[in-house]
């Protein structure tokens, strides 16, 4: 049996060029992250679902280690671009990790939270506890995304999910069976609709009262 010819070594110039390209991409991603208009923190009980959502929206490669994250964290980072060139950072963290230090680290840029729940495995009591902790720590808007596979498991009724999670009337809840790009963007828009549009209406009513008084 003839021996396979030895593989040719990769020229040092090519290896160096690959390293430069990788470094340039890393720097570009970091610059976009810093120039974004704000950040959304995604807290999930399924790391792969979190990664999938960010990958759907990120304009560059998803980062899982970065100088822009706090020490001893396990974050998934990506930057999404929306209409008008507005950049928004997406930061995902497993619900198994302590998220209070992450909130403190990004406090100056956080715009809201997404609780991404894999409906196949839900610790309802723990989820209610986490929601309560978040309410006590911040008044930023949050939306709960309940993920299910419509071909394998019939989802619970919306009202049942709301009761088990202890949600208030104003708390947003969205059921998703397919994490497509379109659905991922809808989740972001729904987050802001849940909080900022009602807030804008309240502000408008206040201004009207002040004007007519």
From the list 40, 16, 157, the residue with the least C-alpha distance to 89 is 40
Residue 111 inside a domain? The answer is yes
Please say whether the beta carbons of 138 and 64 come within 8 A.
no
Residue 58 inside a domain? The answer is yes
Residue 55 inside a domain? The answer is yes
Q: What is the dihedral sign for C-alpha 73, 95, 62, 78?
A: negative
Q: How far apart are CA 52 and CA 174, in angstroms?
A: 17
Q: What is the DSSP string of 31-87?
A: HHHHHSS-EEEEEES-HHHHHHHHHHHBSS--BSS-TTS-TT---EEEEEEEGGGEE
Instruction: Return the CATH number at 53.
Output: 3.40.50.300
Residue 130 inside a domain? The answer is yes
For 59-68, what is each residue's pLDDT tens digit? 877 877 655 5
From the list 181, 161, 182, 185, the residue with the least C-alpha distance to 171 is 161
Residue 110 inside a domain? The answer is yes
The domain total for the chain is: 1
Orientation of helix 124-137 relative to helix 158-165, angle to 10°: 60
Return per-residue pLDDT of the chain as tens, 213 residues.
555 555 555 555 555 555 445 545 545 556 666 666 788 999 999 888 999 999 998 887 787 765 555 655 678 888 888 877 778 889 898 887 777 888 888 888 888 999 999 988 889 999 999 888 888 888 888 899 998 876 556 668 889 999 999 888 878 898 988 888 899 989 988 888 866 555 544 444 434 344 334
Q: How many residues does the chain have?
A: 213
Residue 26 inside a domain? The answer is no
Residue 28 inside a domain? The answer is no
For 39-59, what is each residue's pLDDT tens digit? 899 999 988 899 999 999 888
Residue 17 inside a domain? The answer is no
Q: Which domain holds residue 43?
A: 33-212
Say which DSSP state 94 is in: E
């Amino acid at each position: 049996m003839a021996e396979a010819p030895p593989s040719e070594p990769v020229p040092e110039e090519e290896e160096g060029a690959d390293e430069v390209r990788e470094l340039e991409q890393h720097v570009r991603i970091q610059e976009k992250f810093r120039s974004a208009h704000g950040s959304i923190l995604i807290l999930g009980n399924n790391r792969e679902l979190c990664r999938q959502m960010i990958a759907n929206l990120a304009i560059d490669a998803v980062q899982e280690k970065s100088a822009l994250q706090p020490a001893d964290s396990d974050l998934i980072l990506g930057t999404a671009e929306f209409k008008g060139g507005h950049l928004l950072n997406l930061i995902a963290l497993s619900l198994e990790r302590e998220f209070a230090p992450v909130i403190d680290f990004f406090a100056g840029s956080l715009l809201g939270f997404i609780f991404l729940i894999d409906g196949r495995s839900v610790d309802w009591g723990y989820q209610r506890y986490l929601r309560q902790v978040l309410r006590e720590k911040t008044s930023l808007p949050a939306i709960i995304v309940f993920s299910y596979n419509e071909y394998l498991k019939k989802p619970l009724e919306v009202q049942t999910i709301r009761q088990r999670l202890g949600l208030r009337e104003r708390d947003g809840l969205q059921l998703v069976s397919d994490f497509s790009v379109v659905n991922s963007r809808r989740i972001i828009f729904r987050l802001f609709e849940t909080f900022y549009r009602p807030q804008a209406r309240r502000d408008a009513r206040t201004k009207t009262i002040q004007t007519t008084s």
